[in-house]
């Protein structure tokens, strides 16, 4: 290290040879700063300034060199239409938790139970049961529907709406065969049609300003299906119908829990829904729960898991259990409160008068039956189609547009044969009487060991 007297001598000698003016130093700052990065470069001026920068020479007007701040990484934002995969936004692999609701009554102890906390920890660490798969699917649903609700407007075709939702879902979930993708066909049922309608190829149906549109779509990650739905109107006549059904769904979510009997839960839903009326053309019409539709448990790669939550009180003593995964789904109607499929067959037989058949077009929804019987197929085309269905969808529901998308063509005969043989189940549109209006809301809940998580909850509903 050079001593202070030696430094002064160097400075003095430099001044006698060629005085360094303050202006010159300022002008040459950038050049000298660059030289400072390479030891030995810059000659006498570098030596003096280097020692000044390190505090060995003090003087007025001398300032310490500021370190350049590294630019902060910009947070990845979702686009509109949504196309950014969630793994780019949530790089940690941890996705937002849904709404947490504590259990009530005899199950409040679960919140602080060490045993139940341990059970939850084990569930999170197991790849097959981790909640992150469910939460990832739920976040995809929230982001897609947030933009879809702004996008959907009268004058659009049903196909245009369905493709907007499905393209967004595939992009955000980063579709990968049966590992991640669309959970089931996008339901866009209109007016008196309550469920199971999605456009087939060539459908030219256009959304009208007076329509009541049910938007029901799903996302799955490793077979954990997120199922949620909402209703849109574009003028106020049926706002009370929409309000009634949303309130009934929230009641079902609130009252659901471990050990709750399904028949009693249905009674709470019914009571809420029937407390509403809709005024149409000066006439008050009661809102009725659709008695032969229901919410349902969800199994791995299976949208209907075996347990059902009907919408009217009944004697079902089946209990909800720890670990159950449920879609709490309610439908309300200004009609008779019962639906038939598109060929006029009642979904559940009722002792009262039959409904008028309401044709709603071709069937669009299908699913391969779990543990379907092994039967000989006489059509070669049916064998080939079954192989395609199994490899592309497994037991997840699909529609005819999805078959078109994977390259199938002229498949209707083969598809109907698979239905007739009991290998594939068809799901025709389900409708109340003509002139009725129906609405739907749905949330997916997870009955964790310690708390109930409403995984699909968002700021919108």
Q: Can 296 be counted among the known catalytic residues? A: yes
Q: What is the mean pLDDT of residues 90-101?
A: 96
CA 402 – CA 185 distance, rounded (Å)? 8
Choose the catalytic residue: 28, 163, 304, 316: 304
| Whether residue 371 sits in one domain with residue 356 | no
CA 15 – CA 2 distance, rounded (Å)? 19
Q: What is the mean pLDDT of residues 436-449?
A: 97
In 3D space, the residue among 177, 166, 160 whose CA is nearest the CA of residue 144 turns out to be: 166
Distances (CA, A) of 128 to 85, 123, 133, 220, 296: 22, 8, 9, 13, 21
Q: Can 442 be counted among the known catalytic residues? A: yes
Residues spanned by the domain of 387: 364-427
| Whether residue 408 sits in one domain with residue 341 | no
Choose the catalytic residue: 141, 220, 296, 417: 296
CA 152 – CA 165 distance, rounded (Å)? 10
**Least trusted range by pLDDT, from 111-115, 148-152, 335-339, 445-449:** 111-115
The pair phi, psi for residue 185, each rounded to 5°, is -60, 145
Q: Does the pLDDT of residue 346 top 70, yes or no? A: no
CA 161 – CA 216 distance, rounded (Å)? 12
Choose the catalytic residue: 139, 203, 227, 324: 227
| Whether residue 323 sits in one domain with residue 177 | yes
| Whether residue 208 sits in one domain with residue 147 | yes
Q: Can 304 be counted among the known catalytic residues? A: yes
Q: Which two tokens stand for residue 21?
A: 């003016």
Q: Is 268 left (phi over 0), alpha (psi -120 to 50) or beta?
A: alpha
Is 33 part of any known ligand binding site? Answer: no
* Predicted local distance difference test score (pLDDT) of residue 13: 53
Choose the catalytic residue: 216, 291, 408, 432: 216
The pair phi, psi for residue 33, each rounded to 5°, is -60, -40
CB atoms inside a 10 Å sphere around CB 314:
17
- Report pLDDT digits (tens) over 195-241: 999 999 999 999 999 999 999 999 999 999 999 999 999 999 999 99
Q: Can 227 be counted among the known catalytic residues? A: yes
Domain membership flag for residue 63: no
Q: Can 216 be counted among the known catalytic residues? A: yes
Domain membership flag for residue 3: no
CATH of the domain at 243: 3.90.230.10
Q: Does the pLDDT of residue 30 top 80, yes or no? A: no
Q: Does the pLDDT of residue 365 top 60, yes or no? A: yes
Q: What is the mean pLDDT of residues 354-383?
A: 79
Asked whether the beta carbons of 330 and 252 are under 8 A apart, the reply is: yes
Q: Can 220 be counted among the known catalytic residues? A: no
Is 227 part of any known ligand binding site? Answer: yes
CATH of the domain at 371: 1.10.10.10
Q: Does the pLDDT of residue 3 top 70, yes or no? A: no
Q: Does the pLDDT of residue 171 top 90, yes or no? A: yes
Select the more confidently predicted residue: 50 or 64: 64
Domain membership flag for residue 291: yes
CA 42 – CA 22 distance, rounded (Å)? 17
| Whether residue 369 sits in one domain with residue 343 | no
* Predicted local distance difference test score (pLDDT) of residue 127: 62
**Least trusted range by pLDDT, from 7-16, 123-132, 164-173, 246-255:** 7-16
In 3D space, the residue among 387, 249, 254, 274 whose CA is nearest the CA of residue 330 turns out to be: 249
* Predicted local distance difference test score (pLDDT) of residue 72: 73
* Predicted local distance difference test score (pLDDT) of residue 245: 98
* Predicted local distance difference test score (pLDDT) of residue 54: 45
Task: HSE, CB side, 13 Å, CA atoms: give it for residue 179.
Answer: 5
Domain membership flag for residue 46: no
| Whether residue 373 sits in one domain with residue 356 | no
Select the more confidently predicted residue: 37 or 176: 176
CA 142 – CA 456 distance, rounded (Å)? 7
Domain membership flag for residue 350: yes
- Report pLDDT digits (tens) over 394-405: 999 999 999 999
* Predicted local distance difference test score (pLDDT) of residue 38: 45
SS3 (DSSP) at 453? strand
Asked whether the beta carbons of 197 and 438 are under 8 A apart, the reply is: no
CA 136 – CA 93 distance, rounded (Å)? 9
Average pLDDT, the chain: 86
| Whether residue 213 sits in one domain with residue 247 | yes
- Going by pLDDT thresholds of 50, 70 and 90, the confidence category of residue 6 is low
Is 105 part of any known ligand binding site? Answer: no
pLDDT above 70 covers what percent of the chain?
A: 81
Choose the catalytic residue: 291, 442, 443, 453: 442
| Whether residue 379 sits in one domain with residue 250 | no
* Predicted local distance difference test score (pLDDT) of residue 345: 52
Q: Which two tokens stand for residue 405?
A: 């998308």
**End-to-end alpha-carbon separation of the chain, Å?**
71
Choose the catalytic residue: 203, 324, 329, 341: 329
The residue ranges of DSSP E strands in 175-252, in sequence order, are 180-190, 193-195, 212-221, 224-233
Q: Does the pLDDT of residue 31 top 80, yes or no? A: no
Tell whether omega for the bond before 81 is within 30 degrees of 0, i.e. cis.
Answer: yes
Domain membership flag for residue 249: yes
Residues whose CB falls within 8 Å of the CB of residue 120, separated by 6 or more in sequence, listed in order: 448, 449, 450
Domain count, the chain: 2
CA 256 – CA 258 distance, rounded (Å)? 7
Domain membership flag for residue 296: yes
CB atoms inside a 10 Å sphere around CB 127:
8
* Predicted local distance difference test score (pLDDT) of residue 120: 82
Taking the whole predicted model, whether its pTM rises above 0.85 is answered as no
Q: What is the mean pLDDT of residues 68-88?
A: 88
Select the more confidently predicted residue: 194 or 354: 194
| Whether residue 374 sits in one domain with residue 260 | no
* Predicted local distance difference test score (pLDDT) of residue 122: 78
In 3D space, the residue among 168, 200, 173 whose CA is nearest the CA of residue 405 turns out to be: 200
Task: HSE, CB side, 13 Å, CA atoms: give it for residue 412.
Answer: 7
Q: Does the pLDDT of residue 43 top 90, yes or no? A: no
**Least trusted range by pLDDT, from 118-122, 216-220, 353-357:** 353-357
Q: Does the pLDDT of residue 336 top 70, yes or no? A: yes
CA 61 – CA 51 distance, rounded (Å)? 15
Q: Does the pLDDT of residue 243 top 60, yes or no? A: yes
Is 296 part of any known ligand binding site? Answer: yes
In 3D space, the residue among 106, 100, 88, 208 whose CA is nearest the CA of residue 152 turns out to be: 208
| Whether residue 381 sits in one domain with residue 335 | no
* Predicted local distance difference test score (pLDDT) of residue 65: 67
Is 329 part of any known ligand binding site? Answer: yes
- Going by pLDDT thresholds of 50, 70 and 90, the confidence category of residue 116 is confident
Domain membership flag for residue 332: yes
């Amino acid at each position: 290290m050079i001593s202070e007297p030696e430094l002064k001598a160097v400075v003095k000698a430099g001044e006698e040879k060629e005085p360094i003016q303050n202006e010159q130093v300022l002008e040459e700052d950038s050049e000298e700063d660059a030289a400072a990065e390479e030891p030995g470069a810059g000659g006498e001026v570098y030596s003096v300034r280097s020692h000044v920068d390190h505090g060995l020479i003090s003087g007025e007007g001398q300032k310490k060199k500021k370190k350049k701040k590294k630019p902060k990484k910009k947070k990845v934002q979702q686009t509109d239409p949504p196309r950014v995969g969630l793994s780019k936004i949530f790089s940690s692999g941890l996705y937002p938790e849904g709404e947490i609701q504590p259990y009530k009554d005899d199950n409040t102890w679960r919140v602080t139970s060490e045993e139940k906390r341990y059970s939850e920890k084990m569930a999170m660490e197991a790849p097959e049961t981790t909640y992150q798969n469910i939460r990832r699917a739920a976040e995809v649903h929230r982001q897609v529907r947030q933009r879809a609700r702004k996008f959907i407007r009268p004058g659009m075709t049903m196909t245009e709406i369905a493709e907007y939702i499905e393209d967004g879902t595939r992009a955000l979930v980063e579709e990968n065969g049966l590992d991640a993708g669309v959970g089931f066909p996008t339901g866009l049922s209109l007016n008196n049609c309550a469920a199971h309608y999605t456009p087939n190829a060539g459908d030219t149906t256009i959304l009208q300003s007076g329509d009541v549109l049910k938007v029901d779509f799903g996302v799955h990650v490793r077979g954990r299906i997120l199922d949620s739905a909402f209703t849109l109107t574009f003028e106020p006549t049926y706002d009370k119908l929409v309000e009634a059904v949303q309130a009934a769904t929230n009641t079902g979510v609130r009252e659901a829990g471990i050990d709750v009997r399904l028949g009693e839960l249905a009674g709470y839903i019914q009571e809420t829904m029937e407390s509403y009326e809709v005024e149409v053309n000066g006439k008050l019409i009661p809102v009725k729960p659709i008695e032969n539709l229901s919410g349902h448990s969800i199994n791995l790669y299976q949208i209907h898991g075996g347990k059902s939550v009907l919408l009217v009180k009944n004697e079902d003593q089946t209990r909800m259990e720890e670990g159950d995964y449920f879609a709490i789904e309610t439908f309300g109607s200004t009609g008779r409160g019962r639906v038939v499929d598109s060929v006029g067959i009642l979904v559940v037989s009722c002792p009262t008068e039959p409904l008028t058949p309401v044709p709603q077009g071709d069937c669009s929804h299908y699913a391969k039956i779990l543990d379907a019987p092994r039967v000989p197929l006489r059509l070669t085309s049916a064998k080939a189609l079954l192989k395609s269905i199994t490899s592309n969808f497994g037991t997840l529901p699909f529609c005819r547009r999805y078959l078109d998308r994977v390259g199938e063509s002229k498949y209707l005969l083969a598809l109907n044969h698979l239905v007739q043989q009991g290998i594939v189940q068809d799901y025709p549109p389900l409708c109340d009487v003509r002139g009725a209006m129906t609405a739907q809301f749905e949330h997916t809940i997870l009955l964790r060991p310690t708390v109930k998580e409403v995984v699909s909850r968002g700021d919108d509903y």
